[in-house]
Structure 1
């Protein structure tokens, strides 16, 4: 099994996220025991439910149609309704493979969900989450990101959107379609900004403060958050941000996006001058074609030449079009437009074990140090020996599989996170806080004796405070990734409290957690989040020096 590259990253994630993000009973229709709740929006009255101390509103439309003549364009205006509209069931997700316990995917997918302690005009902080799944799958109805516990336990309002994905959300047609299709390569991102505007106009009715909104997201949601942080259209509608295991340093150059559009037209046997025929191709057929093209990773490598870019980084994701996304989110600098907005950024210590689990990679767990060097020669060539030597020196007690996981995890998500933190500090504006999530799951990767540790995506259920004992006092069930140890409940509490305090004040803090200093280039403090949290200065200093020496940071 070869090391996973950034091209492969979202391809694997797209297949795997469904396994860890299925919906559950919280998204079913109301039971007889649930209390009905009604509230006004700018477009009409809606009915939700009150369940266990939280008001839930699901499937609220935040914009109009994106099908038909609105394909690849901005959504139609949302039409007001009369009477009371039920907001009891999640809306359809964007076009993708069917998702368990959700409506059938649809082109018309612009719906959002709200969790709030009360519709009482209390001006609570708003946590606006963008789901993961790269830019190709996912929804705002994933079980691990249920917002009930955050709302109930920390007095915040949680909002999550569905938005266009893949080809239907990011096909670059600006040069073929003219002004009518301006911004076409970023429709998925513009959907999210429309959701943010809906929050600004409506969230006060849900007990939220429209002037205190945090954007956050994991994996592909982190990359989306990186883009929002750099987008003029999003700027008026949020105050702080968190980028989690998805550092969107660079996005797709428009030249590469144009090449991808040409690839698509060729695959469909459509001449460029006849591109409007795309409007008549069934969405299911477009999804099939999308599967034949490469996926876009969370961020692009800076030093690849354009030929390599075209070959490896086709596919669909946000486009640096000079207008909607004026420049790469964090290259060459942090975006000036968000200079005064505090930022959290970081990654999980063992990101790679998720992909080993998903890909059924058991071979890495059998590596010796000679095999480790050979395995690293494919992505790193002559630098492989240097990498192994540096990692063995920095981690003298680590096994060869441990070092493979460490190398893979930091190159996937760590280097981009550090890059973002450094550039934000150099900007001299609002603070940035760097973290590592480190709670260790004892669950084994199937077919091995190697523990999952802190895999990619495990942070979702922890930061949403969904790792808690059952409310009815029954025996806790094993967490999908988090395992059985009761310490996970404490780690989840710390994670959720740090994030909700940041949402409230712009500075992360929690009881029984050390003071978390802002990142500086002198001390480089990193908060390690676990059942026992600690601040570690200049963490991974030897490893980061290595990656700088080989031009990866």
Structure 2
């Protein structure tokens, strides 16, 4: 979605109700401490009616200041699966973003654009944990967070069933993200941001979006640095698999291929209910895979991202990537089927890997399994799942990118005493409050029941200062005596281990990395 560059500037307004003019019309926000905030600014039209399964389109313009002090509809999803304010309402008018800014005048500030996670089917930028105020104030940066379409509306590839009357486009969630980044390019200067200094960052499927966008020609030039926290980089599927998933989706939705246009007319929550059912079925029948995920379409996603990184086809920008020490433990704790955490489920996942990679010999697979002595127990199963889903793909991505651009690799190892006692540890998503500085955002948050707040706040400060230095300078500089973090390369593989005291270690997962090699899940 291309727009004419905006030359709008901040309009006069009351100090507590800042008004900024965008390419589509003025928006009124509010002050929170030292920061101005605008919620639910539309970056695209509501994808309803004939736009439901199409690329995002520009919103209609408006003349009077639009109130942007409350959150609007969030992407349709089943509420209750992730921590979301129950007052938020799912709906299709969800293509909006939020902005936090220290000031709308003076020198342009670096911009950080957040892409939330949620397995491509859950979540919203309105979650309290993603509030960007503290990050904006600490770093004197403009923070942006976006919504995008999820589940069947955003990441199930129905394009093989398109007809002249009803067209279904690919990778709609990624198209939404690109449209949001185009809005940032064209409008963020009016909010005090520098459109030439944009860092995109995300976690889980948000990080998977980051690594995918880093190989998308359509996203080239829209951001100038990237941070990927726990990216499932290999959860991108081919067109044939995408068509198979779409066929099963139609069966669950009760829609005949000849009558596919019904999907444009179905109540939106029925569309989502069918994709939820498909997601559960996929997790049960093919552990370790997702029903809703990006697909290789030759356009937005020209090829498998991991292969693109290996071939040197990722955008030439500075890059931070890393994982958490015990990613899979969260999925065991919340009893989520999205990641296999039992020996049976992990064995099924490994059989699926072997089927998808016929060149992978039984001996090679056995060698990988033998590297995990507790594979018959939950501990070993979770270790394999962590490495297959997050750690190894992230290492492969770092290897490829480091051959041509500055790259930094980390492993988040810290867990509070309570999280250790609950056997959650440094699991998937536990670094999020450290990045944003937002602790206690759950209705019942046990994080500090056994202490550890002071240490956590110190670690949070270090992470935030590194992320902010990266956004400002393209280097996660050591600040306030923090451990120097050298770039990653294939010779030394220096990795920052984030814990009570940070440490830089050469190739900390060497034996497992060498056992896996770089061909098992890398796709060619």
TM-score range, shorter chain: 0.7 to 0.9
Comparing 221-230 with 480-489, which one deviates more in the overlay? 480-489
Map Cα deviations across residues 474-498 of structure 1 (whole Å, 9 max, x no partner).
xxx9965466311001110111111
Q: Structure 1 residue aligned with 2:171, among 186, 209, 213?
A: 186
Cα displacement (A) at 1:102: 4.3
Q: Structure 1 residue aligned with 2:51, among 58, 62, 70?
A: 70
Cα displacement (A) at 1:148: 0.7
Q: Which residue of 2 aligns with 1:4?
A: none
Cα displacement (A) at 1:66: 0.2
Cα displacement (A) at 1:430: 1.2
Comparing 69-78 with 159-168, which one deviates more in the overlay? 69-78
Cα displacement (A) at 1:516: 1.3
Cα displacement (A) at 1:237: 1.0
Cα displacement (A) at 1:240: 1.1
Partner of 2:162, secondary structure, is: helix
Q: Structure 2 residue aligned with 1:346, among 308, 322, 332?
A: 322
Cα displacement (A) at 1:359: 1.4
Cα distance between partner residues in 1 of 2:61 and 2:432: 35
Q: Which residue of 2 aligns with 1:436?
A: 411
Q: How does 1:39-438 map to 2 (within 5 A)?
A: 39-98=20-79, 99-177=84-162, 184-294=169-279, 313=289, 315-331=291-307, 333-334=309-310, 338-359=314-335, 390-391=371-372, 405-425=382-402, 428-438=403-413
Cα displacement (A) at 1:462: 0.4
Is the Cα contact below 8 Å between 1:442 and 1:452 reproduced in 2? no
Cα displacement (A) at 1:173: 3.4
TM-aligned CA distance change 1:481 to 1:455, over 3 Å: farther
TM-aligned CA distance change 1:213 to 1:266, over 3 Å: same
Cα distance between partner residues in 1 of 2:102 and 2:316: 29
Cα displacement (A) at 1:354: 1.1
RMSD over aligned Cα, in angstroms?
Answer: 3.4
Cα distance between partner residues in 1 of 2:467 and 2:15: 29
Cα displacement (A) at 1:266: 2.7
Map Cα deviations across residues 498-544 of structure 1 (whole Å, 9 max, x no partner).
11111111111232222211111111100111231111001111222
Q: Which residue of 1 aligns with 2:10?
A: none
Is the Cα contact below 8 Å between 1:49 and 1:55 reproduced in 2? yes
Q: Structure 1: state its 5+ residue gaps.
A: 1-32, 299-307, 366-371, 471-476
Is the Cα contact below 8 Å between 1:513 and 1:534 reproduced in 2? no
Asked whether 1:500 is paired with 2:468, we answer yes
Map Cα deviations across residues 296-352 of structure 1 (whole Å, 9 max, x no partner).
999xxxxxxxxx98x985622212110121111121544755441111111011212
Partner of 2:411, secondary structure, is: strand
Cα distance between partner residues in 1 of 2:511 and 2:251: 47
Q: Structure 2 residue aligned with 1:462, among 388, 409, 434?
A: 434
Cα distance between partner residues in 2 of 1:360 and 1:315: 15
Length, aligned pairs only: 487
Cα distance between partner residues in 2 of 1:172 and 1:380: 25
Partner of 2:397, secondary structure, is: helix
Comparing 129-138 with 96-105, which one deviates more in the overlay? 96-105
Partner of 2:438, secondary structure, is: coil
Q: Which residue of 1 aligns with 2:490?
A: 521
Cα distance between partner residues in 2 of 1:208 and 1:53: 16
Cα displacement (A) at 1:62: 0.9
Q: Which residue of 2 aligns with 1:301?
A: none
Is the Cα contact below 8 Å between 1:183 and 1:324 reproduced in 2? no
Is the Cα contact below 8 Å between 2:228 and 2:320 reproduced in 1? yes
Q: Which residue of 2 aligns with 1:453?
A: 425
Cα displacement (A) at 1:422: 1.2
TM value normalised by structure 1: 0.80
> Deviation above 6 Å: which 4+ runs of structure 1?
179-183, 295-298, 372-376, 381-385
TM value normalised by structure 2: 0.84
Cα displacement (A) at 1:233: 1.8
Cα distance between partner residues in 1 of 2:165 and 2:292: 20
Cα distance between partner residues in 2 of 1:296 and 1:423: 34
Cα distance between partner residues in 2 of 1:267 and 1:551: 32
Partner of 1:351, secondary structure, is: coil
Cα distance between partner residues in 2 of 1:236 and 1:296: 38
